[in-house]
Amino acid sequence: MSRAVQELVVELGPRRYPVLVGPGARHQLAALLPPGTSKVAVVTQAGIPVEVDPGVPLVRLEVPDGESAKTLGEVERLCRAFVAAGLSRADAVVAVGGGVVSDLAGFAAACYHRGIPYLTVATTLLAQVDAAIGGKTGVNLPEGKNLVGAFWQPVAVCCDTETLASLPAREWASGRGEMAKYAFLTGPDGRPPGAGAAAALAALPLEEQVARCVAVKAAVVADDEREGGRRMVLNYGHTLAHALEAVGLAGGSLDLRHGEAVAIGLVFAALLARRLGRIDEDRVAEHRAVVEGLGLPSLPPPGLDPEMLLAAMARDKKARGELTFVLDGPRGVEPVPGIPVDVVREVLAEMLGSTPSAPVPSAPRGGRG
């Protein structure tokens, strides 16, 4: 028996928009286009085997694979292709793919004619649980990830769980990294998750896992659209993650997907919170158990330079000119500014010099259907 598509809503007053979650959600795309749309540009990648029918004439534009595609030059190329296709301010952009596609297409849509509508058909787990929702678009610079971008909310998001069937194992792992983050965040009901929340999330059917993550993010974005306060909790685990990714972008040999880097960042954030007296060893062990139970790395690759990672963390946009981290604590996950550099250096050195000392309990992986 087929499962129904759920509709969740990101509430932004008059700019509220739907997020459809479930098998076949992409087939509702035509009904989601703004009234009067006469043409769309479908931005995707060559290896994505997902076709969409917006019900109006379309031009298909492909962007390269990988984070290295997220450049200002690629945004210019897309915008010039929009001109060549005759897109007007009354038309729309449809991103079909993962986070790289939605970041590029969304930023290009935000820039073109100073902003035209865009919609996203998210085809990776990471995009469905996180990247496609919330309106943050952007590209990278050699100095760091997502340093140039815009807040530009989509008209709608389709999280079609059918499109996940062909995902490679590493892409599943990347999505699980962001899902692990949501296991530690306050839910849409306003209550922090209790013990066992990660295992309960992982045990749900796939579309319920995605819907739960979407609901948490939608509640946070509705409360703080432009990251002036509460939205910073969505960066849990991301300060070290972005530093690891920046080292890779700068010519390093790191082979980490975004969610894998986030998983390592979650454990680092737990170690830092313990060092500051915010959580105890049991809570650190729970972070490790969640990450490793989902088949994700809990330690960085060997041989990294801690000073290089510290410099990258200081440049990260989440640092705001000082060493600010999102950390767990008595009130749940929250931003903590003004952390001494020496403390961060000590914890980082501890982590880089660590090896797993004992097995940790495994959280259920959950099903894909």
pLDDT of residue 313: 87
Q: Which residue has the tokens 């990648």?
A: 45
Q: Is 70 exceeded by the pLDDT of residue 71?
A: yes
pLDDT of residue 246: 81
Q: Is 90 exceeded by the pLDDT of residue 94?
A: yes
User: How far apart are the two ends of the chain, measured CA to CA in Å?
Assistant: 12
Cβ neighbors of 266 (< 8 A, separation 6 or more) are 177, 180, 181, 184, 236, 237, 287, 290, 291
Residues 83-93: pLDDT tens digits? Answer: 999 999 999 99
CB 215 within 8 A of CB 168: no
User: C-alpha 80: how far from its chain's center?
Assistant: 27
Residues 162-183: pLDDT tens digits? Answer: 999 889 988 998 899 999 999 8
Is 239 among the annotated ligand-binding positions?
Answer: no
Is 318 among the annotated ligand-binding positions?
Answer: no
CATH of the domain at 259: 1.20.1090.10
* 62 confidence band (pLDDT: 50, 70, 90): very high
Pair (53, 130) in one structural domain: yes
Is 101 among the annotated ligand-binding positions?
Answer: yes
DSSP annotation string for 40-109: EEEEE-TT-------SS-EEEEE--SSGGG-SHHHHHHHHHHHHHHT--TTSEEEEEESHHHHHHHHHHH
Pair (123, 234) in one structural domain: no
Identify the three-state secondary structure at position 180.
helix
Pair (348, 271) in one structural domain: yes
Residues 316-360: pLDDT tens digits? Answer: 645 444 688 999 998 889 999 999 989 999 999 999 886 543 333
Asked if the structure places residue 184 within a domain, the reply is no
pLDDT of residue 228: 80
d(CA 144, CA 163): 30
Is 317 among the annotated ligand-binding positions?
Answer: no
Comparing 267 with 193, which gets the higher pLDDT?
Answer: 267
Please identify every residue annotated as catalytic. 114, 136, 178, 217, 227, 231, 235, 238, 242, 258
Is 65 among the annotated ligand-binding positions?
Answer: yes
- In the structure encoding, which two tokens stand for residue 60, read together? 């298909």
Q: Which of 71-85, 192-206, 354-368 has the highest mean pLDDT?
A: 71-85
For residue 347, the surrounding DSSP H or E stretch is helix 341-352
Task: Count other Cβ atoms within 10 Å, centred on residue 271.
Answer: 20
User: Domain limits at 278?
Assistant: 226-352
Pair (141, 276) in one structural domain: no
pLDDT of residue 321: 47
Asked if the structure places residue 76 within a domain, the reply is yes
d(CA 209, CA 3): 14
Tally of structural domains, the chain: 2
Q: Is 60 exceeded by the pLDDT of residue 366?
A: no
Q: Which of 48-57, 191-200, 285-294 has the highest mean pLDDT?
A: 48-57
Q: Which of 2-11, 119-128, 246-255 has the highest mean pLDDT?
A: 119-128
Which pTM does this prediction carry? 0.86
Number of residues that this document lists for the chain: 369
366, amino acid identity: G
pLDDT of residue 305: 86
Query: Which is nearest to 322 in space by CA: 313, 330, 332?
Result: 313
